[in-house]
Structure formats: C-alpha cells, structure tokens
Chains A and B, each alone.
Chain A
Amino acid sequence: MTLVTRSATPKRGIYRPSADLVPKVLAGSRPDIARMISRAEAGYDEASDALAALYRHAGRAHVIGVTGVPGGGKSSLISALIRAYSGDSHKVAVVAVDPSSPYSGGAILGDRIRMGDSAEAQQAFVRSMATRGYLGGLARATLQAVDVLDAAGYSPIFIETVGVGQDEVEVVTAAHTVVVLSPPGLGDDIQAIKAGVTEIADIHVVSKGDKPDAAATASALRGMMSLTPLGRPSEWETPILTLSVATGDGILDLKQCLDSHHAHLVTSGELALRQRSISRTRVLATLNHLLRREFDENTTNLAAHLQAVADRSSDPMTAALALLGLNRMEAKP
C-alpha cells in the first residue's frame, strides 16, 4: 500500500533575509523570533550579521539553567514556573534541549512544556532544541536562541538541559542561576550526587515533595553539601527547596528564591563575573566551531592520512600535524 494522496496545490515557502527579521524580533513577533532561532540552529552564514545585531540588543534577561536527571520533573517544574511568572506579567521563555540520536541525527524533543489555554501559551515562548551532536548538555545554538529571546524582551529565560550527568555542567557557564532538580530517591541514592552535579547548583530543588521520601532526599543533599567544597566562590548560600508541582506547594518560594539570587548577583557584583565567564565560554566555543568548520571544508587527503595511520605507516600525531599544515619540527615540545 503506497497510496499517499497529495494536494493539487503545493505550498511554497518564501525566504526572507535575516536582516529583515531583526526589527520584527525586537518588536516581539513570535513567528520571526522562531524563524531567527531556526536560522541560528541551521548555521546559515546569511544569519550571522542579524544574530550579531541581536546580541548587542540582548543582555537584560535573567537566564536560569535547570538541570537534573531525566524523569525528575524538569518540564513540569518549568511549566509551573512559567505560570507563576506569567501571573506577574513577565514574558517568560524556555529553551529545552534534548539529545539528537547519534544514529540518525534525528531527535524526539520529548517533553514539550505543557501549556494551558492559548492565551497562556502566547505569553510564554517555548522552544525545543536538539543537541545535533554537540556535547555538554546544550545545543550549539542554545545561547544564540537565548540572545534572540532576550533581545525580544523575554525574561526570565529558562534553559532546560539534557539530563545526563556530568556532561551537562556546561549550563554553569551559560546561565546566571543554576537550579539542580532531584526527585526523591531512597536515602543514599541521590541522583544529583551520583551524577556529580551537586556543586554546580545555586539552588537545589527536591521535586515531588508530596512523596514521603522527599524529606530524606533533602536531608541527604544537605549532608552531602556540607562535605563538598563550593564549586565557585560566592557569598550566596545554596538553599535546598522542597516543592510539589502536583499540589503547587513551594513554587512561589522557588520563584522568590530565583529573584533573590538574581538580586544577589547584581548587588554583589557577581553578575559581572558570571557575564565574563559566559563570554569566555561563548567566544571559545565559537572559535572552536569556526576552526572545525574551516578544517572540515578545507581539508583534503584526510582519508589518505587515516589509512596511513591504520596501516601504521604513520601515527596519529604525525597525521594530525600534517593536516594542520605543521610538521613535527615546528611543533612545540
């Protein structure tokens, strides 16, 4: 059975130059914001000036990273926070990152944040993003998407990372505030501890606080934190909040806590430090990307070098140096 019935009038797309999208993004037009993010993801050269312009307009948003093991309830927590912030007439945005399949390159962007009626849905902007082979828990274009949303006036902007463990610590160098979410486990089985992400948290949240073992999880976290050195020097004392999305208990506390962390960053001057560290990460990541792309587009003879290494007529270092156009003598000791 191969029958697929097609419409007689096929749809046609129109490509509008990215420069034309910029004023519309700044005016908050959702279709244009969405399109701009797609262009950043696709990595069109044509879009890079527009993205640069938007970067300069951005910088006002409070960027919050939310991380934790899969199934811990990140999406439902963020949905609850969106409602809490939207009630305050904030324009809230979310960039939710999910892994791409290493086999097909495709992805199921599973946990689309559940929004209520369409008025509610229009006030918040939710964008799902696949990692497309990028490591570290984010996608390459995640922070460009944050720029676009920031320039369009969204704040706070949540980044929901792939919950895989230590790999996702990149969110630390991307967000102003990092929330680590731990579902209640059995006493010593705290997933965040196992994953080694306890020290990156500015705020710890124990989800499903209506479950009986939530208190035990919170106290295990507290015990663990007294033993772990602080990830970064700060006056901020990392709180541990227990909340329940199901009953709504603790959501407003968390919102308050996020706001006071932001206030703390501003008054203590830590915000500038974090901004600088974010810039560092981004410039180096972009550099890395450009180098890779340059290499990918302009390298010839890769196959021959690889074969030579396989045959042991060459070795990995010699081949790599040759590909870089260097020889062993020129390499630093």
Chain B
Amino acid sequence: MTDYSPETTEKLRASLAEWEQDELAATLNIRPEEKTDYRTECGIPLKRIYTAADVADIPLEDIGFPGKFPFTRGPYPTMYRGRPWTIRQVAGFGNPESTNQRYKYMIETGQTGLSTDFDLPTLLGLDSDDPMAFGEVGRVGVSIDSIDDVDRLFDGIDLEKISVSLTINPSAWVIYAMFVASAERRGNDLTKLTGTLQADPLKEYVAQKEWIYPVRPAVRLLRDLIIYSTKTTPKINPISLSGYHLSDVGGNAIQEIAFTMAFTIAYCEEVIAAGMDIDDFAPRLSFFFISHQDFFEQICKFRAARRVYAKIMAERFSAKKAESMRLRVHVQTAAMSLTKMEHKNNLMRTAFQALGAVLGGCQSMHTNGLDEAFAIPTEEAMKLAIRTQQIIRDEINVTSVVDPLGGSYFVESLTSEMEREIWKVLDEVDRLGGAVKLVEDGWFQQKLADSAYQTFKLIDRGEKISVGVNRHVDANSAPAAVEIHPYDENCTTLQVSRLKELRENRDNSLVNDLLSDLKQQARTEQTNLLPKTIELVKARATLGEICSALREVWEAYDEPNIV
C-alpha cells in the first residue's frame, strides 16, 4: 500500500523498535496493560499499534477505488453520496392482512424497502391445515398458503415503486411463482419488479435448519429459480447468500464469509453447468451479513468479503462484467448480542453495530428492535430502530466520504489478514470435495457447533463481556417487562377456513393434472420447474400441495446428527 523503499520501511521499523524501548517500556513499567493477549472476536491477534510497515506488503490494487475491482472500498464509486442505504426492516406475522397493515405503517415512518418474514409452515412448504403446522401458523411470520394470500399481503402497495425482500428458503421457488403470478394479475410490468429472495439452501442445512428435500434437489430448485428469474424478472435478486445465519448459530466472522463464499461457488458451478454464462446471472447475486459486536473486525469483514468475492468471480469464473464482481450486501445487526437484562441498552448496542455496517459499506440494513431478543418487535421498538438508522444517515455526517477508514494502517492490515484466513478455509473446502458434499457430510455443521460452544464457554466464564449481564451488573435491575406482540389465535382458523374454501372453488382435476406433470418434470434433472409451478399457483394449487408432490419424488431430508 505504501510506496516506501525497503530502506524507508527498515527505518520505520527501527524507529518503532526505538519507541518500544523508550516510551513504551517506560509506560509498561509504571502501568502494565490490562490484558496480555488482545484479539478480534474471531481470534486474530491484535497489535498495540499499526504503522505503515504493517501495510507495506499490501498491493495498492488490492485496496483500489470504490466501484472498481476488487471493490474493497465499496461497490459503487459514489456510495452514500449517490444513494443512501435502504432502510429495510423485516416484518411479518399473522394473516397477510396484519402484515399488510404493518407495512403501511412502516412506509409512513420512512422505511424505503419492504421485507417479509414468513411463518414456519410456509417456510417448510406446509399448508396451515397440516398437522405439523399445529401452533405455528402466523407465529414467527406471515402465513401464505396460496396466491390469494400474496394478493392480500401486498394489497394497496405499488410493487413497481418499492422493492420487496422475501425471507423465504426451502419453498422459495413457490413463493416466487406466487409473487410473479400475483403481480401479473395486478397488471404489473414484471421487468420493473425489484426485490430479493433469500433462497440460500446450503446455509439452511448448516444453520437455519429449514429444509424440505435432500441437499441436491434443493440446490437444483435454486438453480431453476436463478435461471428463470434472471430472464423473467431481471431486477429481482433470486438469492441472498446469507452469512447472517451462520453467525447466528455460532460462526465467527471468518466462517461467516468463508462458508458463504463456498456456497456461492457451489451455486455458480451449478448454474454454469446448466448452460448459463456467469455474467448473465452473477450481477443478481446478493448477500446478507451480520454486523456484530467487534466494531473494527466487522468493518474489515465487509471490506475483505468484497475483495474475496471479486477475486472469485474474476479468477475462478472468469467473469467479465464489473456487476458480476461487485458484492452488494444487506446487513442486520446482531440479534444475539441483545440482552433481556436492562434491555434499553440494546438501543446502544444496535446503534454501534449499525454504524459499523455503514462504515463497512452496506447497501441496505435492518436494525433490530430493542425487544427483538424476546419477541416480534412492537411498533414503538421498530420506530426507534428506524430512527437509529436515520440519525446515522442524516445527523452525524459519516456518509460524505466514501470508505472513510480506508488507508488506516490497522483497517487495511486487518482486512488483508481476514482475507488470507478466508482463502485458507476456501482452499480446505476445495480440498475436501466442495461445499455440497461437505454439507451432506455435516462438516460445516460440526465447525459451527464447535464455535458456538466455544463462544458459550467464554460467556460462561465471564471472559466475553455483556454489560448488565456479567459486567456492571445492577443488582436492582430485573429482566425487562416488555410488551409482547400478541399472537392472534384466530389466525389459524382463518387460514384453515380459507384453504377449505379455496379447495372447493377451483378446478381440482386441473390442479391434479398439473401436480402429476410437475412430478414428472422433477424426475428429469435438466427441466426447469418454474414454468409448471407458475401454472400451478395460477390454478390455485396451494404451497403445501406443490411441496408435498415433490417430496414424493425426492423424499425428505435426513440430517446428519451433529451435536
């Protein structure tokens, strides 16, 4: 990074040694440091001070310029000067109407993009009247059984104007089909729809643990979705590769990025094998990372991730377009850093994490509500979370300069160090046979469980500090008595009665014929299942019917037992 001559660097090192002998030694004599070992959260050792000598070996072109390969300094040349990040708070609960109402409230509050959470039955491809859905309908997200529910969800919202993010995974291809068919029904121009699906199956098997089918059919469904969406809805990101959940189950910053990149490689190989050019779909790959507690580590993580991704796309897949190499990321602050004790402290935690995401160059963000550790956030909590982002954006002037920390000896050095660690993991994944095989083997699952236990032990021993919980504990403070978002017990009843009505008022023989067609197509590895799925949802086949038809073909997934 520096263009110092070797002699100058030597001189610098000599004067550093001198400083250590004089000023530093004298101070240490009087006052030893608090710890003997300083590290980042993921275990990278930290020096006391970083100098130009630490960055002397970093090639200038690794740092480069924003909007230019390898995008270390940001995906776009003007960053927030051109367009601030999107404030995108996720919401979803109950019936489609309840979520629709919350959306309208959030748009009024100044939210600039929508994001939908689905309930567990919807995520897992079960209808609300399935026995396994007992107690879960509309609980952790909105319940969707059919295309009619998607109509209700976005009623009165202009889908050509506001981008929609759908946090949907194993059943993503069906929800996408419903979304497209519903938009079509409303007369929208499909090429103008913007938004993102999560649809990242490999991370589901290792982290969020939502699945319907075995690993390989799930990857095939994603392949079909990417190919179809790229052609039909060119402004929709069919996937959001999600490191967030890897972190959520215990992964550290290196694992978060490295595993996500390993999955990216696997998906790209799959789509390329189906005959697509990398530059035709890579521009629509999007990412979702966490912004966690270790402030500088997280900032450097975002920078290192952009650099690694750009190099993978350019070197491994010979991408030509800049858009194929530019990593765009949605960030959520760390829900697991929130505490129940003195829960208002969570506002401060979230604000720092959000600032880290902005300094790291995110494109959109969800800030957690202060009660997110216990329940679906209340409207009040959501408003404070949005205000947090607005204060960062509009009051404290951190958006005027692109990558303001670029060039810092420490930040550049840590970025490069993290990049090296990420490559090490990726090399290991390649050596062991690639991401898909390692997911089937439980390799990632074991690494994450080990890391989670390690973190737990640090907390348990009080070595990882949580203010108000294991440090600065106020004996008088009790856990928060917070207002819990009420669960609507009638939600199941309503969804179930709607299903009954729907099944009575549609052409059931058409639905059955289409389901048989779908099963037939699924047996041919090359066939894209999206067109048939869209026909099905238009014929008002339900999510559960479509998903269980394919379970007959592919069977269910049996998880390797990793504890």
Q: Do chains A and B touch in the complex (CB under 8 A)?
A: yes
Q: Which residues of A contact B (CB under 8 A)?
A: 1, 3, 71, 75-76, 108, 110-112, 114, 246
Kindly identify which residue among A1, A108, A112 contacts B469, using a CB–CB cutoff of 8 Å.
A1
18 A-B pairs (CB sep. < 8 Å): A1-B341, A1-B469, A1-B479, A3-B479, A71-B441, A71-B442, A71-B560, A75-B561, A76-B558, A108-B563, A110-B561, A110-B562, A110-B563, A111-B561, A112-B561, A114-B558, A246-B214, A246-B555
Q: Given the complex, which residues of A lie within 8 Å of B214, measured CB to CB?
A: 246
In the assembled complex, the CB of B101 is this many whole angstroms from the nearest CB of chain A, namely: 35
Q: Given the complex, which residues of A lie within 8 Å of B560, measured CB to CB?
A: 71
How many angstroms between the C-alpha atoms of A114 and B558 in the bound complex? Answer: 8
Number of interface residues of B (CB under 8 A): 12
B563 to chain A: closest residue by CB: A108
How many angstroms between the C-alpha atoms of A114 and B555 in the bound complex? Answer: 15
How many angstroms between the C-alpha atoms of A246 and B214 in the bound complex? Answer: 9
Q: Given the complex, which residues of B lie within 8 Å of A76, measured CB to CB?
A: 558
A73 to chain B: closest residue by CB: B560
Chain A CB within 10 Å — which of B555, B561, B562 has the most? B561
Interface of B is mostly: loop
How many angstroms between the C-alpha atoms of A38 and B304 in the bound complex? Answer: 54
How many angstroms between the C-alpha atoms of A114 and B561 in the bound complex? Answer: 10
A112 to chain B: closest residue by CB: B561
Chain B CB within 10 Å — which of A1, A71, A110 has the most? A1
In the assembled complex, the CB of B281 is this many whole angstroms from the nearest CB of chain A, namely: 28
In the assembled complex, the CB of A100 is this many whole angstroms from the nearest CB of chain B, namely: 14
In the assembled complex, the CB of A207 is this many whole angstroms from the nearest CB of chain B, namely: 13
Q: Given the complex, which residues of A lie within 8 Å of B555, measured CB to CB?
A: 246
Q: Given the complex, which residues of B lie within 8 Å of A71, measured CB to CB?
A: 441-442, 560
B473 to chain A: closest residue by CB: A1
A245 to chain B: closest residue by CB: B558
How many angstroms between the C-alpha atoms of A1 and B462 in the bound complex? Answer: 12
A114 to chain B: closest residue by CB: B558
Q: Given the complex, which residues of B lie within 8 Å of A112, measured CB to CB?
A: 561
How many angstroms between the C-alpha atoms of A75 and B560 in the bound complex? Answer: 10
How many angstroms between the C-alpha atoms of A152 and B234 in the bound complex? Answer: 64
Q: Given the complex, which residues of A lie within 8 Å of B561, measured CB to CB?
A: 75, 110-112
In the assembled complex, the CB of A2 is this many whole angstroms from the nearest CB of chain B, namely: 11
4 residue pairs, one from A and one from B, having the closest CB atoms:
A111-B561, A108-B563, A110-B561, A110-B563
In the assembled complex, the CB of B536 is this many whole angstroms from the nearest CB of chain A, namely: 26
Chain B, range 168-227, C-beta contacts under 8 Å to A: 214
How many angstroms between the C-alpha atoms of A108 and B558 in the bound complex? Answer: 19
Q: Given the complex, which residues of B lie within 8 Å of A1, measured CB to CB?
A: 341, 469, 479
A76 to chain B: closest residue by CB: B558
Q: Given the complex, which residues of B lie within 8 Å of A111, measured CB to CB?
A: 561
In the assembled complex, the CB of B468 is this many whole angstroms from the nearest CB of chain A, namely: 10
Q: What per-residue 1/0 map shows which CB atoms of B535-563 lie under 8 Å from chain A?
A: 00000000000000000000100101111
In the assembled complex, the CB of A60 is this many whole angstroms from the nearest CB of chain B, namely: 32
How many angstroms between the C-alpha atoms of A3 and B341 in the bound complex? Answer: 12
Q: Given the complex, which residues of A lie within 8 Å of B442, measured CB to CB?
A: 71
Known: A71-B442, A246-B555; 4 extra A-B contacts, CB below 8 A, are A1-B479, A75-B561, A110-B562, A246-B214
Q: Given the complex, which residues of A lie within 8 Å of B558, measured CB to CB?
A: 76, 114
A248 to chain B: closest residue by CB: B555
Q: Given the complex, which residues of A lie within 8 Å of B479, measured CB to CB?
A: 1, 3
Q: Given the complex, which residues of B lie within 8 Å of A3, measured CB to CB?
A: 479
How many angstroms between the C-alpha atoms of A75 and B562 in the bound complex? Answer: 13
How many angstroms between the C-alpha atoms of A224 and B441 in the bound complex? Answer: 26
Q: What per-residue 1/0 map shows which CB atoms of B424-451 lie under 8 Å from chain A?
A: 0000000000000000011000000000
In the assembled complex, the CB of A129 is this many whole angstroms from the nearest CB of chain B, namely: 16
Q: What per-residue 1/0 map shows which CB atoms of B454-482 lie under 8 Å from chain A?
A: 00000000000000010000000001000
Q: Given the complex, which residues of A lie within 8 Å of B563, measured CB to CB?
A: 108, 110
How many angstroms between the C-alpha atoms of A111 and B562 in the bound complex? Answer: 8
